[in-house]
């Protein structure tokens, strides 16, 4: 029988720092003081552990915040923290623009995502998991993806006041489904928490932050980066479209993998829900959200294409990290958080 996901009203704890920049951010939130980084942000790797964790922590002030951070509600718009965040965002965004492919158009970028390879694709995590269906790998994947799925749809909601007409209506329709269509028990983030509980993982929001490598943090930070800047609204639409276009086939493979691994119905349900729902969402997103935005603001076509390409870049980086670890029979989690260690206490 499925163990119900436990309600969590408490905030996640502040993470362990991974370098001078994240240390400065964490200490500033813990002490209520100013962030002291001694200029380390100037040379931080834009994809590295230190910068990505610092960004994640700063972005989290716009979501649930942290336990052990006095008055962090009042620091959401702290000028010093915002200035540091902007300094960190610049190299991250520049790296994305330099490294992501440059599709000819938004339509071309989305069309490329619709091409499903025959058989097993070597670089695909969902293909790998369906083929191997190893429970320790599925549990690691679920733990890492919890940082994304337990805030699923929240960053995309920032698009609503920035769109008009057909694009806004289409986005609201998809978001309504993501948030359970008015039923709290069907909110997708809750379904994911139930998946985690079924797999013996701790379903509390943000619990696995210390276990997640920078490549996993970057996929979440991308949504926040795009969502918190109106100038990047086209890129956020591109991210949204990329997620919805690729979700249905990937979810089908992951549902198959969980069944083969002997996971219970609550674990399978999350992905089965996405097989059906996202097949419909894909059409709404392309026909109404993307097309509606570009009908109103055709100059944003390149931004939408960039959002698609940046999403693919970071998902591929995370996929490469996971598959490299698993094919060498190693944990993909950070040291001290191997597969057996992510289990929820009995």
The CATH number of whichever domain residue 174 belongs to comes to 1.20.910.10
Full-model pTM: 0.93
79 contact partners, CB below 8 Å, separation of at least 6: none
My answer on whether 178 and 288 are in the same domain is: yes
Is there a single domain that holds both residue 91 and residue 119?
no
Q: Is 248 inside a domain boundary?
A: yes
Residue 121: its pLDDT value, please?
Answer: 62
Indicate if 110 and 89 belong to the same structural domain.
no
Give the contacts of 227 (CB within 8 A, at least 6 positions apart).
155, 156, 158, 159, 236
Structural domain span for residue 192: 103-326
Domain co-membership, 90 together with 108: no
**Is residue 13 in a domain?**
no
Among 28, 62, 96, the domain boundary falls at 96
Q: Show Cβ contacts of residue 34 under 8 Å, excluding neighbours closer than 6 positions.
A: 28, 80
For the chain, list residues with pLDDT below 50.
1-8, 118-119, 341, 345-346
**What's the domain count of the chain?**
2
Whether 227 and 134 map to the same domain: the answer is yes
Q: Is 11 among the domain residues? A: no
Specify the pLDDT at position 8: 47
Question: What is the predicted pLDDT for the residue at 116?
Answer: 60
Same domain flag for 47 and 166:
no
- 53 with 110, same domain: the answer is no
| Whole-angstrom distance, CA of residue 334 vs CA of residue 322 | 11
pLDDT of residue 1: 38
> How much is the pLDDT for 73?
86
């Amino acid at each position: 029988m499925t163990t119900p996901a436990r309600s969590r009203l408490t905030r996640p704890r502040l993470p362990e720092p991974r370098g001078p920049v994240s240390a400065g951010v964490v200490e500033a939130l813990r002490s209520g003081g100013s962030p002291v980084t001694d200029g380390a942000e100037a040379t931080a790797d834009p994809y590295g552990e230190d910068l990505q964790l610092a960004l994640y922590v700063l972005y989290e002030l716009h979501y649930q915040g942290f336990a052990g951070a006095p008055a962090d509600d009042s620091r959401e718009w702290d000028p010093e923290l915002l200035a540091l965040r902007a300094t960190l965002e610049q190299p991250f965004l520049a790296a994305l623009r330099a490294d992501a492919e440059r599709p000819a158009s938004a339509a071309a970028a989305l069309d490329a995502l619709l091409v499903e390879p025959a058989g097993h694709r070597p670089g695909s995590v969902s293909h790998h998991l369906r083929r191997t269906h190893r429970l320790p790998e599925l549990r690691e994947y679920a733990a890492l993806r919890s940082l994304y799925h337990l805030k699923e749809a929240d960053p995309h909601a920032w698009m609503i006041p920035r769109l008009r007409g057909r694009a806004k209506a289409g986005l609201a329709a998809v978001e309504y489904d993501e948030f359970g269509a008015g039923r709290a028990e069907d909110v997708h983030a809750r379904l994911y928490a139930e998946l985690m509980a079924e797999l013996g993982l701790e379903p509390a929001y943000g619990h696995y932050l210390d276990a997640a490598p920078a490549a996993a943090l970057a996929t979440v930070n991308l949504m926040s980066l795009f969502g918190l800047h109106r100038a990047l609204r086209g890129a956020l639409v591109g991210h949204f479209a990329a997620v919805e276009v690729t979700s249905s086939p990937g979810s089908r493979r992951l549902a198959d993998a969980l069944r083969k691994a002997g996971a219970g119905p609550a674990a399978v349900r999350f992905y089965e829900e996405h097989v059906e729902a996202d097949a419909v969402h894909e059409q709404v997103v392309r026909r109404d959200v993307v097309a509606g935005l570009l009908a109103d603001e055709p100059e944003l076509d390149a931004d939408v294409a960039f959002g698609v390409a940046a999403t693919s870049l970071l998902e591929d980086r995370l996929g490469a990290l996971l598959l490299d670890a698993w094919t060498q029979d190693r944990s993909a989690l950070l040291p001290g958080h191997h597969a057996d260690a992510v289990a929820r206490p009995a």
